[in-house]
Structure 1
Amino acid sequence: MAQVSLAAEERSFAGKGPLNRLRKSGKIPGVLYGKNLEAKAIVVESKDINKLLTTHGEGVLIDLMLGQEKYPVIIKEIQRDPLKGAIIHIDFYRVSMTDKIEVELPIVLKGEPEGVKLGGVLQHQLHELTIEALPSDIPPVIEVDISHLKIGDVLMVKDIKLSDRIKVIDSPEEIVVAVLAPSIEEEEEAPAAEAEEPEVVSKGKEKKEE
């Protein structure tokens, strides 16, 4: 797992109003917690965390610098504004470098399947893989090569090649991707019904006999 540094400050306030003013000033509120660690309300610079996420993703191991202390942490949860998508709160979890942790990592597909080149349809079913490992052994993402897949092929969790230091939690039989045959809609031509002209029966006026 890649490791980077991020500066943070403790905060002593909460509440909707103060936190909104904090966000408008370019900072993001968060919390630091972990095993045998009292939760701490913190603040990080918006530009710093956005740069970190753009460069390394959410799976990166972070040295969180808080005052004179350094905490090895992972990002546990990010809350975003439902309309703008901006980060409004972030949770950091302090990890032990000697204890295994369970995390969900994004699955990144590499290559274009042979079956897709021939008209097949790629169906991506599993987007995250749950694993357990030491923090130093956790990759930022799970890369999966799918270029060899033909029409009708499926790739399951058990087909993903990982280090023997990583334990996969998901079911080995769960499908990650599949290449489906193209769907061909056959238009059935209904036999043209012969239109029958309605028989017109004209009745003449009956001549009244005198």
Structure 2
Amino acid sequence: MSSEKITAEVRAEFGKGAARRIRRDNKIPAVLYGHGNEPVHLTLPGHSTMMALKHGGTNSVLELDVDGNLQLALAREVQVDPIRRVIEHIDFVAVRSGEKVTVDVPLATVGNAVPDSFVVLENNTIQVEAEATHIPELIEIDIAGKRVGTQIHASDLKLPKGTTLVADADLLIVNITGQITAEELEAELEEAEAEAGIEREPSDEEKEEAAAAEESGDTASE
């Protein structure tokens, strides 16, 4: 993962009012933590920062130019407005080239399991340790031809060179089961409701079937 250079401005104004003014100027408020130093409050250019984070993906590492001093920074938390989808604030952690960091890396399956199987990705990310400038953007899990009953745990993942597992080795990542039929799903739902003490109102179809059965029994007894 390569780092992109962003020119940052040190800011002395804090609080919600200052943050709103920064955003009105199409800029992003941010804070840089780490290495035992006091937090540094920054203002970043909106468009170039957004594009750098988009290009770098999760766990983006940027090279911040702060008053002429270059600092590698790992994006730890990116707050995004849920409606407008614009970045509202970024928390960075200062890192050094070659320094190991612990991060959560996204997971994705590739390939197709056997027909009539159901693939469940139990965990979307995995916690690993990697060099700050070589954090994998994505770890792929090959499920091509995998059979029903296959389970893939954290220890089974093929990690990139230089990346080590931090998560529990027994953590279930992928579970491949047989596809469940509508009848089986209905039976499981009824069983769960019975265990929870929930009495379900019969459907119109069930009422009609019950009425037909009762009528049939009355006819047979005559």
Structure 2 partner of 1:196: 218
Query: Residues 151 and 168 from structure 1, CA distance in 2 versus in 1: closer, same or farther, beyond 3 angstroms?
Result: same
**1:3-152 equivalences in 2 (<5 Å):** 3-111=3-111, 113-115=112-114, 118-152=115-149
Range that drifts further, 37-46 or 78-87 = 78-87
Task: Please list every run of 5 or more consecutive structure 1 residues that lacks an aligned counterpart in the other structure.
Answer: 198-210
Query: What's the TM-score, normalizing by structure 2?
Result: 0.78
Looking at structure 1, the residues matched to 27 and 134 of structure 2 have their Cα atoms a distance apart, in angstroms, of: 31
Greater RCO, 1 or 2 (C-alpha within 8 Å, sep 6+)? 1
Structure 1 partner of 2:196: none
Higher relative helix content:
2
Structure 1 counterpart of 2:146, one-letter code: L
Secondary structure, aligned partner of 1:35: coil
Q: How many residues align?
A: 195
Secondary structure, aligned partner of 2:21: helix
Query: What's the TM-score, normalizing by structure 1?
Result: 0.82
Query: Residues 8 and 108 from structure 1, CA distance in 2 versus in 1: closer, same or farther, beyond 3 angstroms?
Result: farther
4+ residue segments displaced more than 3 Å: 82-85, 185-193
Is the CA contact 2:2–2:134 (under 8 Å) kept in the aligned structure 1?
A: no
Structure 2 partner of 1:166: 163
Q: 1:181 aligns with which of 178, 183, 187?
A: 178
Is the CA contact 1:153–1:179 (under 8 Å) kept in the aligned structure 2?
A: yes
Structure 2 partner of 1:207: none
Range that drifts further, 77-86 or 57-66 = 77-86
Structure 1 counterpart of 2:44, one-letter code: V
Deviation at 1:12, TM superposition (A): 1.3
Q: Which has the larger radius of gyration?
A: 1
